[in-house]
Amino acid sequence: MNRNFIKAIAASCGLAITATGTLLAAETNPPASKPADKIAELFGDPVLAQGKGVTIKRSELDAAVMGIKSSGMARGQQYTPEQSLMLERQVLDRLVQIQLLLAKATDADKAKGKETSDKRFEAILKRAGSEEKLVLQLKSVGLTAQELRKKMAEEATAEFVVLRELKIDPSDADAKKYYDEFPARFEQAEMVRASHILVGTIDPETRAPLSEEKKAAKRKLADDLLKRAKAGEDFAKLAKEYSEDPGSRDNGGEYKFPRGQMVPEFESTAFGLAPNQISEIVTTQFGYHIIKLSEKYPARKLTLEESIEGVKIIDQVKDILKRQQLEKALPDFIEKITAEAKVEILDAKLKEAGEQLKELGKNSAPLDKAAAEKAVKK
C-alpha cells in the first residue's frame, strides 16, 4: 500500500483551511452506513455548532475525525485523549468554515470548482495506477470514489469562493516580477530519464535480506535478463514482466530524476551512461539493477511558459503568490464570516479546547514561506 498516497487522500478529505490558505473540504453529509451514524443511532446526534446557515452534528464531526485518525494510525500515530479533543475542535472549526464558504458559492465558483476538482481527481487516479487500485486505497481510509469526488469538488469550490471574496488574482506581471526577483528558484539541476529492471534481494514480506542461496539464483536471473536486454529485446517489456520495483514496473521501469534522489550506486551509473546505453549489473541494498539511459537534460533555468506535470510554471508561481496573499488575509476573513453567522460552539469541552488553541496560536512562530516557494522546483 502506498502510504504517501493514503496521506494525500486523507489530507484532501480533511476539510481544512490550512496554514498556507489551501481549503480542504469535508463531507458534510456522510452516508448512513458510516460507523459515526451507527453511534448516533445509539447515543443521539447532538448539535455541536450552530449559526446562521450552519449546523454541525456529532455524527458529521465523528465521520470527519475518523477519516483523519485512520490515516494517522496507518502511519503509526497514536492519539491521547487531549490530542483527540484538540483534533475534534480543529475539525469542527473547519467544518463550520466549509459550510460558511459553500453558502457563499456562486454558480461560477461551483463550475470552476468542478473543473479543478476533476483535474485533481484524474491526477490522483494516475498516481494510484488504476481505478481498481484507487478503490482499494480509498477503502483503507473509509472512502468511495464518489465520496472523494464530492469532497474534492467542495474543496475546490471553497477555494474559489475565498479567492473571489478576497479579490486575490495575481497577474502575469506579478508572476514575472517574482520570477525576476528570485531567479535561483527556477534553476533546474541536471537530470536524466532512465529505465531499470530490479531483481530484488529483499524478502517482500519480512523486508529481510534473502539467503545467499536465493541471492545466487537472483543474480543468475539478472545476468540472463542483461543478456536479453543487450541482445535487443524490448527493455520496457522486460521491466514490466520481471522488475520487482512497484514504483516503476508498470511504466516500463522508467524514472526521471536529478542527482541526489537515488542511492549512490544507481545514480552514478545512470548519469555515467550515454543515451540508449545499457549498464552492467549494478548492486544496491535493494538488489540487482539493469539500467538503460534514455535521455540527459543539462542544468538550466526554467521559463515561465514551460510545464511541470502538465502545469505551467507561470501558473505555479501564481499559486505561490495566492498562498502568500491568503496567509495574510484569510484569518481575518474567516473570523469575519464566522462572527456574521453568529456561530456558537454548544459543547462545553469543545468550546474550552477552542480557547486553548487560540492561546497556542498566539504563541506559535511565524510560518516559513520557503517551503511553499519550493513548489516550482521539482
Written as one string, the DSSP assignment of 19-31 is: TTS-B----SS--
Per-residue pLDDT at 114 exceeds 60 = yes
More confident call, 105 vs 44: 105
Phi and psi at 48, nearest 5°, equal: -100, -30
* Cβ atoms 109, 37 nearer than 8 A: no
Q: Could you give phi then psi for residue 295, rounded to 5 degrees?
A: -160, 150
- Band (pLDDT 50/70/90 cuts) for residue 360 is confident
Q: For the chain, what are the domain ranges?
A: 3-176+307-376, 190-298
pLDDT at 43: 56
**Where do runs of H (alpha helix) occur along the chain?**
3-12, 35-43, 58-74, 81-103, 107-128, 131-139, 145-165, 172-181, 212-230, 235-242, 264-272, 313-340, 348-363, 370-373
Largest CA distance in the chain: 74
Around Cβ 355, how many Cβ atoms within 10 Å? 11
pLDDT at 3 exceeding the cut of 60: no
pLDDT at 131 (0 to 100): 85
Range with the poorest average pLDDT among 72-76, 95-99, 212-216: 72-76
Beta bridge partners of 300: 188
Report whether 90 contacts 142 (CB < 8 A).
no
Report the distance separating Cα 350 and Cα 87, nearest Å: 10
Q: CA separation (Å) from 230 to 171, 218, 273, 284?
A: 52, 18, 14, 21
Q: Which SS3 state, helix, strand or coil, does residue 63 take?
A: helix
Is the pLDDT at 64 greater than 60? The verdict is: yes
Most confident range, picked from 6-10, 58-62, 288-292? 288-292
Query: What integer pLDDT is reported at residue 309 of this predicted model?
Result: 74
DSSP code, position 364: S
| Rounded Cα distance, 35 and 53, in Å | 26
SS3 at position 162: helix
Among the residue ranges 65-69, 114-118, 303-307, the one predicted with the least confidence is 65-69
Q: Give the pLDDT of residue 19.
A: 31
Show Cβ contacts of residue 299 under 8 Å, excluding neighbours closer than 6 positions: 187, 188, 189, 190
Backbone angles phi, psi at 236, to 5 degrees: -60, -40
Angle at alpha carbon of residue 310, lines to 161 and 294, rounded to 5°: 160
Beta partners for residue 200, in sequence order: 287
Nearest to 97 by CA among 164, 24, 7: 24
Kindly calculate the radius of gyration of the chain based on its CA atoms and give it in whole angstroms: 25
Indicate the pLDDT class of residue 157, thresholds 50, 70 and 90. very high
pLDDT tens per residue across span 332-354: 999 999 999 999 999 999 999 99
pLDDT(13) > 70? no
Q: CATH 3.90.79.10: does it fit domain 190-298?
A: no
Euclidean distance between CA atoms 10 and 29, whole angstroms = 17
Helix, coil or strand: residue 143 = coil
Could you say which of 3.90.1150.10, 2.60.120.580, 1.10.4030.10, 1.10.132.20 is the CATH number of the domain covering 3-176+307-376?
A: 1.10.4030.10
What average pLDDT does the structure give for the chain?
A: 84
- Candidate from 18-27, 110-119, 169-178, 284-293 with smallest mean pLDDT: 18-27
% of the chain at pLDDT higher than 90: 63
Q: How confident is the model at residue 369 (pLDDT cuts 50, 70, 90)?
A: very low
